[in-house]
Amino acid sequence: MLHLENLSFSVQNNGQSKQILKNINLQIERGKLYGVTGPNGSGKTTLAKVIMGILPHTEGHIYLDGEEISGKNITQRANLGIAYAFQQPPRFKGLTVQDLVKIAQPKLKNLSIRKKMRDVGLCPEDYMDRDMGSGLSGGEMKRIEIMQVLARSAKLAIFDEPEAGVDLWTIQRLVDIIVGIYKNNPEAAALIITHNRNILPICDELIVFEEGKIRLQGSQAEIWPLIRDDIVCQVQDTCRGEEII
Ligand SMILES: Nc1ncnc2c1ncn2[C@@H]1O[C@H](COP(=O)(O)OP(=O)(O)OP(=O)(O)O)[C@@H](O)[C@H]1O
Ligand SMILES: [Mg+2]
């Protein structure tokens, strides 16, 4: 469905070019759940933003169902079925939670919006009319952001650290929902950027980033045993058993 070919992204930093993504080649197929992981700063969020058209890649090609979409903007890519849930959701002053979901999916009826809110662990009575500009906690913002992507029924949904700032109980619920929608779905695929040891093993394919490049890529069965050992080492060294890489 999505094909990235020799994709690179550079920024100008103090008059010098800094390459953030280096020659990425990736094939995303329908019916699969992809887990993307790797150290902080390795380029995962940048990749998501380049796919969504938020950042313009500097070299290479992006094809969606065989069509080159490199020249298309965010709205055009969204209309083609790509959706992105931000790692740090932007705050929109003057928009209510309900407005935001309706923008994402205008056809959605109030009853369905209420159900989607409950799916992500938010009580509709308390949140439907809340302002997106201020007052919502980080975890609440994150759940609303995820709900917005789920509401879109996108053919390619990208979740950027859906677990970040979300309590453990809700993480499991969100994971179950994402898996329920995207695993073995012949129409769609999801890419989950995550450091979470519970999410990575349930993905079909794993992609490990390092310094702007894909270090490892393959089936869960092939890659998970390799990175699980990495995680164990790092957890022992730095995190005293916390479930992060
Ligand atoms: N505009 C920019 N100018 C300079 N450096 C940038 C710019 N945008 C991104 N970077 C750098 O690119 C690298 C990749 O950032 P990115 O946000 O993609 O990392 P990440 O893998 O998502 O990390 P994390 O796990 O912390 O979310 C980082 O070192 C970041 O500082
Ligand atoms: Mg990131």
Residue 122 lies inside a defined structural domain of this protein: yes
Residue 59 lies inside a defined structural domain of this protein: yes
- Alpha carbon of 48 to ligand 2 centroid (Å): 9
DSSP 91: P
How much is the pLDDT for 25?
A: 97
How much is the pLDDT for 220?
A: 96
- Which residues constitute the domain of residue 132? 2-239
Residue 244 lies inside a defined structural domain of this protein: no
- Alpha carbon of 109 to ligand 2 centroid (Å): 33
- Closest residue by Cα to atom 1, ligand 1, is 11
Torsion angles phi and psi, residue 239, rounded to 5: -120, 0
- Closest residue by Cα to atom 25, ligand 1, is 40
Residue 245 lies inside a defined structural domain of this protein: no
How much is the pLDDT for 237?
A: 42
How much is the pLDDT for 155?
A: 93
Q: Which residues pair with 17 in a beta bridge?
A: 12
| CATH classification at residue 11 | 3.40.50.300
Identify which of 7, 14, 46, 163 to mutate to test ligand 1's pocket (most ligand atoms within 8 A of the CB): 46
Residue 181 lies inside a defined structural domain of this protein: yes
Note the helical H segments in 36-73: 44-52
Q: Which atom belonging to ligand 1 lies closest to the Cα atom of 193?
A: 22
For 111, counting Cβ atoms within 10 Å of its Cβ (0-12 exposed, 13-18 middle, 19+ buried), the class is exposed
Q: What is the DSSP pairing of strand 33-37 with strand 205-210? A: parallel
- Which residues are near ligand 1 (CB < 6 Å)? 11, 13, 18, 20, 38, 40-46, 87
- C-beta of residue 36 within 8 angstroms of C-beta of residue 226: no
The mean pLDDT values, 10 residues at a time, for the chain of 245 residues are 97 91 96 95 96 94 96 92 87 86 83 88 91 87 88 90 85 86 90 92 96 96 89 44 45
**In the chain, how many domains are there?**
1
Identify which of 8, 10, 44 to mutate to test ligand 1's pocket (most ligand atoms within 8 A of the CB): 44
Residue 35 to residue 65: CA distance in whole angstroms: 21
For residue 229, give the 3-state DSSP assignment: helix
Residue 13 to residue 205: CA distance in whole angstroms: 34
Residue 32 lies inside a defined structural domain of this protein: yes
Residue 219 lies inside a defined structural domain of this protein: yes
How many CA within 13 A on the CB side of residue 200?
25
Residue 170 to residue 134: CA distance in whole angstroms: 22
How much is the pLDDT for 231?
A: 59
Note the helical H segments in the chain: 44-52, 74-79, 97-104, 110-119, 124-127, 138-152, 168-182, 220-234
CA distance to 49, 50, 76, 213, per residue, from 146 (Å): 16, 19, 20, 27
How many residues in the chain? Answer: 245
